[in-house]
Amino acid sequence: MPKTSTASNHYDVIIIGAGLAGLSSAVRLGMFGLKVLILEKHFVVGGLNSFYAKGGRKFDVGLHALTNFPSESSGKSSPLLKLCRQLRIPLDSLNLLEQSSSRISFGEIDLCFNNDFEFFLSEVEKVFPKEKDRFQKLLSKMVEFPAYSVDAKEISTREILGQELGDSLLAEMLLCPTCYYGSARANDIDFPTFIMLFDAIFKQGLARPDRGIRALLDPLTDKLKELGVERRMNSPVKSIQTDQIQVSEVILENGEAFTSDHFISTCGGLETEKLLCLPDTPRSFDLGRFSIIESISVFDGHPRDFGWDETVIFFNKSDKFFYDQPKQLVDLNSGVICLPDNYGPIDSSEKKEAKLRVTHPANFKLWSELSEQKYQKEKCFWEDVILQNGLKYLPLGESKSELFKNRTHLTDTFTPCTIKRFTSHENGALYGSPTKKRDGSTKFSNLFIAGTDQGYVGIVGAMLGGIAVANNQILRNL
């Protein structure tokens, strides 16, 4: 039986989840003096973008790249600057290190990019000279399309690229990084999200705070403390109580109950509907199914010792990009490599150790059905296979395999089951449901969805989504 709620258990806003969306929402609401409670299932903040320690070292779970680096051309309208202003976190305090250069690699064809959009344009022109005019036309179409509006039409990017471009390889190469950095749809990405990610990756660019994700998480949690926002960790919400019109209360797994005027859930659309426990109500969010496996190697020295000076490499074996849940445990045909030590200027001081991260699509269902013993065995097997496969896409990587292995002193791998554990997303779906609700509204007037299932994905997107729900759905109506 739920324990009864008392006046001290009543809040202006209750937020489910202390990921980047939940934390950002809470800071915004706290700034306006509201009584806010965050309920988080885990003992650490950050959700998908958290950190953990292994072998005495700290690992970021998510952070490959902070997108939307505020380039000169994006100026004050840069989404990253906007979120720093809204949360009163000085951009300088993040100590952003820019990417060196990155690459999209399809078979023998490479498209390189860095934080200078003109360079990317020149690469497209060099590799696809016949596409120059059509690509320019596509860029104009993207500028004119109201991608950032809450009611932007979710049309298929594959179809649009098919109509606008003459060379299907260019279309596939553009889909690869944008899907990997934020598509919940199988084999496609909706056009507004494609535009937002294209802007975020190519027009603005990639960077990394020198302290990793803690450079964002620490100021957020410090601010919550200053503002008197309550945060309860290890507090999974078991159910959300409703009278069919409004939400009244949340109940934790331990039976504690909390009432509030407003509720924001950042645990996913479908997952929130399940917490509402309304078995006869049809679900409005579809089940997502794209998940990943990532293997991390910690090695002695610096990537440049091996001649590897790029930051992120999106690779695909053939000229057709397949982005979906694979039929086997792991799909080796495409993936992402990140060398996080290749952010920032070339450091003359000798670097003691560095990381190599290789990511591939993976099947949640197959991983989750393995017994504990089999799971550990498969994880160990794939860790090695993934590394060997990734090395193929690094300059002379295969020939340096033995040397690299000898210099590697720690490895770790997370699977779709780890993603499920960190986020509670059904199916371990990396980017949640393919159904998105941009304005965060639900059929209940005081319950809102924020973060991943708003459709603003990635670190910057999740934070801006959380801020938008706080501003537009709650603060504006007070």
CB of 465 to ligand FAD, least distance (A): 7
CB of 151 to ligand FAD, least distance (A): 21
Q: Is 233 helix (H, G, I), strand (E, B) or coil?
A: coil
Residues between 61 and 80 with contacts to ligand FAD, criterion CB under 6 A: 62-65, 67
199 binds ligand FAD (CB under 6 A): no
459 binds ligand FAD (CB under 6 A): yes
Q: Torsions phi, psi of 277, nearest 5?
A: 50, 55
CB of 203 to ligand FAD, least distance (A): 15
Positive or negative: CA dihedral 13, 17, 21, 23 = positive
102 binds ligand FAD (CB under 6 A): no
99 binds ligand FAD (CB under 6 A): no
Residues between 427 and 456 with contacts to ligand FAD, criterion CB under 6 A: 430, 451-452
419 binds ligand FAD (CB under 6 A): yes
CB of 266 to ligand FAD, least distance (A): 5
Question: Is 333:362 a contact under the CB 8 Å cutoff?
Answer: no
Q: Interhelix angle for 157-164 vs 132-144, to 10°?
A: 140
201 binds ligand FAD (CB under 6 A): no
Query: What CA–CA distance (Å, rounded) separates 322 from 319?
Result: 10
Query: If we measure between CA atoms, which residue out of 204, 150, 158 comes closest to residue 179?
Result: 158
Question: Is 178:198 a contact under the CB 8 Å cutoff?
Answer: yes
- The DSSP code sequence of 422-470 is HH--GGG-TT--S---TT-B-SSTTEEE-SGGGT--HHHHHHHHHHHII
Residue number with CB closer to ligand FAD (196 or 237): 237
Q: Contact region for ligand FAD (CB under 6 A) — 56-64, 118-126, 172-180, 376-384?
A: 56-64
- Strand ranges (E), 325-407: 334-338, 353-362
19 binds ligand FAD (CB under 6 A): yes
Question: Is 131:167 a contact under the CB 8 Å cutoff?
Answer: yes
17 binds ligand FAD (CB under 6 A): yes
Strand 353-362 versus strand 291-300 pairing type: antiparallel
CB of 144 to ligand FAD, least distance (A): 26
By CB under 6 A, name the one of 11, 13, 22, 207 that touches ligand FAD.
22
Residue number with CB closer to ligand FAD (192 or 458): 458
CB of 403 to ligand FAD, least distance (A): 27
What are the Cα distances from residue 147, in Å, to 188, 380, 382? 16, 42, 38
CB of 80 to ligand FAD, least distance (A): 10
Q: Which amino acid is at 191?
A: F
CB of 435 to ligand FAD, least distance (A): 15
Count other Cβ atoms within 10 Å, centred on residue 391.
21
CB of 394 to ligand FAD, least distance (A): 19
DSSP state at residue 201: I
Residues between 270 and 329 with contacts to ligand FAD, criterion CB under 6 A: 294
Residues between 155 and 184 with contacts to ligand FAD, criterion CB under 6 A: none
237 binds ligand FAD (CB under 6 A): yes
Question: Is 49:213 a contact under the CB 8 Å cutoff?
Answer: yes
Question: Is 207:69 a contact under the CB 8 Å cutoff?
Answer: yes
Residue number with CB closer to ligand FAD (170 or 463): 463
- The DSSP code sequence of 400-418 is GHHHHHHHEEEEEEE-HHH
Residues between 29 and 48 with contacts to ligand FAD, criterion CB under 6 A: 39-42, 47-48
Summarize as ranges the residues that interact with ligand FAD (CB under 6 A): 16-22, 39-42, 47-49, 62-65, 67, 236-237, 266-267, 294, 419, 423-424, 430, 451-452, 457-459, 462
